[in-house]
Structure 1
């Protein structure tokens, strides 16, 4: 996404090509600002409350946008707004390729969303907030979490805001036992690697969104939650060896670093790795 003038905006952007998503934070100074004309589906999230007047292509009355406001942006459309004070936005761009499996599941030929300048949607706000926080954390939660969030976001957008009514696809049951076994074997064999949702989808022959639903029906967990539990179990087992430090255990269990291990371990087990190890070894 390109801005008119670097003096008007400051943008901090991270892109994950495999997940087909670009996540940005944009600081906008007071004065006129031209929105980019994007050919992809994009969302804007207000991070600082503001009031703006649309100047071009047609003048409109001021609009107050509170923190947490979501905009589903118009595609291939550029507008000029005037801001009375500096503000900030989160911006998430989703590549059209990301929607292909979702469209197939919903029986829609192409993605076309209804657009909104001011939208209150608690679910959409939660998803976009999580993605923005992941950008700030430089995607520490890993590729599988990012893939799962982006897939969930694209599916939600199509099912909730598609201009074409999606078909209601009834999915019963979970994965076939042999398919589930292949999926779990792949996870276990690649536990220390960066597992992508597309990798698991290829193992099952399903779309990513269908895989997430079916995997949860079979195991009671999402693929990401399942991977975290396996990594936590491996870490717990390795903690029996007094010679191993927590950093080595973290990396050997598939976590990004010791901090990542500590955060997830406490969430899953209920205590810190250090406390668990002390209780384990006496």
Structure 2
């Protein structure tokens, strides 16, 4: 299989005059490049990234073939063409045009899809669309162009918001998504479980609300509680408390740590709160557990 080419390698196959390039901005997962092209007949190897071509100036009949038959359409300013990543293509046009190329990394698009669907993503493919008339998407690409030219306060945050908006718009309207696992009914998916357990581990030192836990996996409190119990075999608050106790056990093996410090590090309100929990769940006190583990 031919190794996918990068945006920097594209001019080898499609010569043109560079008009704009965001490479110096060091944006993660996205790049904008502008070109002026004369009429051409070019075969392009598979691209590493997803490609959106927005037409800025000039009009031309465009002929393109990807995996299927040739398509033909009249490309006008404002038109957009889509090319999925790792997709070989052949383009042919006769008139001079000016375009913007927006490249999106597969990793970034897959992450957005995973966040959007709350499921493991196997593949995201853009549909074979030669011409779309989509003012919203064209406006978002224009936002990247404006930021490339001028930048400004909060540039990185602005680009991240544009990047997410473009990805979600593509996933809603122009993409086919394949999942790694079938949707689980009545249970949390493995992706949701990983997000949830990571969130709990990162926040064991403070009170975590049920609404927070449900929000990490994009569910209502009602559905989250039901799915959590089915998946983990206990209510969420019991799971969190057990994880705090597990951490507390490890910390209690360090005699130099006072009990009140262990209590604070494990999210208990105070030493007496931790003591009550140990008594109720382990039938012993923290001090008794400490004496047991240190002999």
**Taking structure 2 as the reference length, what is the TM-score of the superposition?**
0.49
How many residue pairs get aligned? The number is 173
- For 2:172, the equivalent position in structure 1 comes to 159
- For 2:46, the equivalent position in structure 1 comes to 37
Cα separation, partners in 2 of 1:87 and 1:101, compared to 1, 3 Å? closer
**Taking structure 1 as the reference length, what is the TM-score of the superposition?**
0.51
Match of 1:27 among 36, 45, 50: 36
Match of 1:66 among 76, 90, 108: 76
CA apart distance, 1:127: 0.9
> Max radius of gyration: which structure?
2
Say whether the 8 Å CA contact 2:83–2:126 is kept in structure 1. Answer: no
- For 1:13, the equivalent position in structure 2 comes to 21
* Cα shift readout 1:4-46 (whole Å, capped 9, x = no counterpart): 5489312332135453111110211223234452122221111
Report the Cα distance in structure 1 between the residues aligned to 2:65 and 2:150, rounded to whole angstroms.
36
* Cα shift readout 1:180-227 (whole Å, capped 9, x = no counterpart): xxxxxxxxxxxxxxxxxxxxxxxx99x9xx9xxxxxxxxxxxxxxxxx
**Do structure 1's residue 94 and structure 2's residue 94 form an aligned pair?**
no
Map residues 171-210 of structure 1 onto 2, 5 A cutoff: none
CA apart distance, 1:159: 2.6
Cα separation, partners in 2 of 1:65 and 1:23, compared to 1, 3 Å? same
Map residues 216-235 of structure 1 onto 2, 5 A cutoff: none
- For 1:76, the equivalent position in structure 2 comes to 86
* CA RMSD between the two structures: 3.6
**Runs of 5+ unmatched residues, structure 2:** 1-6, 184-211, 219-295
Say whether the 8 Å CA contact 1:26–1:89 is kept in structure 2. Answer: yes
* Cα shift readout 1:137-160 (whole Å, capped 9, x = no counterpart): 256661111111111111222233
Report the Cα distance in structure 2 between the residues aligned to 1:97 and 1:64, rounded to whole angstroms.
32
Cα separation, partners in 2 of 1:114 and 1:81, compared to 1, 3 Å? closer
**Runs of 5+ unmatched residues, structure 1:** 168-203, 211-282
CA apart distance, 1:74: 2.8
Report the Cα distance in structure 1 between the residues aligned to 2:14 and 2:130, rounded to whole angstroms.
25
